[in-house]
Structure 1
Amino acid sequence: MSVQLNHTIVWCRDKEKSAAFLTDVLDLPGPTHYGPFLVVELSNGVSLDFYETTDKISPQHYAFLVGEEDFDESFDRICSRGIPYWADPGKKSPGEINRHDGGRGVYFDDPDGHFLEMITRPYGSGG
């Protein structure tokens, strides 16, 4: 059996604002409309489908594997925009990045409180 993640819904208050935040920080192509969704395509064929709600949003975690140069560029955007960031999921190391498995990683929040992460090496890949 072959199973791949195809898409996931990202609940948000303002899909334009949330999708723009993600595409800006990660330098992704602009989102496209599909029905009530604003769709952000990732390079591995998975999409994040932003969907507006007025209900309570339960924060989710989304981790993005990026190249070293992409990390540098995205991290520069995080810093230049004054977006708070942490080296750890518990938010105990503010203003720092981690260097797990010989790579680099950083956590930051999106406008709706979803906890985003950028890493240059998959966890457990050694280093």
Structure 2
Amino acid sequence: MAVQLNHTIVAAHDKWASAQFLTEILGLTPPRSAGVFVAVQLDNDVTLDFAEPGADHIRCQHLAFLVSEDDFDAAFARIRERELMYWADPRQRFPGEINTHDGGRGVYFLDPNGHALELITRPYGSGESA
């Protein structure tokens, strides 16, 4: 059997808010209750299980999503409609910009719990340098 990522847990003070935010930005099926988790199903059979943390502090997680050019356009339009801050880089040095790494496009933004979300249209190392 090939090894595949099945799910990962994402800590969130408000698991429904974070899960709903992600599905709305990415145009995914609405989240569903899954026991103590709120599950977001991705198209590659990976589930993000949002859960309330055992402590007050949540460590920022970085979640990167490979999307098509059309899906990038749609998600980026939603980011701009909501007037969310976005950056071309993970260190937030280039606000209001996107990147063109590997001949594609990429953008970083934050979810309601401060997790760093990234959208890319080309996998890293797959093409031209920006």
Asked if 1:63 is matched to 2:43, the reply is: no
Q: CA deviation at 1:32?
A: 1.2
**Partners in 2 of 1:16 and 1:89 — Cα distance?**
25
Alignment length, in residue pairs? Answer: 127
Match of 1:90 in 2: 91
Which ranges in structure 2 are unaligned for 5 or more consecutive residues?
none
Identity %: 61
- What letter corresponds to residue 103 of structure 1 in structure 2? G
**Partners in 1 of 2:22 and 2:73 — Cα distance?**
16
**Partners in 2 of 1:77 and 1:60 — Cα distance?**
21
**Partners in 2 of 1:34 and 1:25 — Cα distance?**
21
Q: CA deviation at 1:33?
A: 1.1
C-alpha RMSD of the superposition: 0.9
- What letter corresponds to residue 104 of structure 1 in structure 2? R
**Partners in 2 of 1:67 and 1:31 — Cα distance?**
21
Which ranges in structure 1 are unaligned for 5 or more consecutive residues?
none
Match of 1:115 in 2: 116
Q: CA deviation at 1:55?
A: 2.4
- What letter corresponds to residue 96 of structure 2 in structure 1? G
**Partners in 1 of 2:56 and 2:46 — Cα distance?**
25
Deviations 1:61-115 (A, max 9, x none): 0000000000001000000101100000110000000000110000000011100
Match of 2:36 in 1: 36
Q: What is the TM-score normalised by the length of structure 2?
A: 0.95
3-state SS of the aligned residue for 2:118?
strand
**Partners in 1 of 2:120 and 2:38 — Cα distance?**
25
Moved over 4 A (4+): none
Q: What is the TM-score normalised by the length of structure 1?
A: 0.97
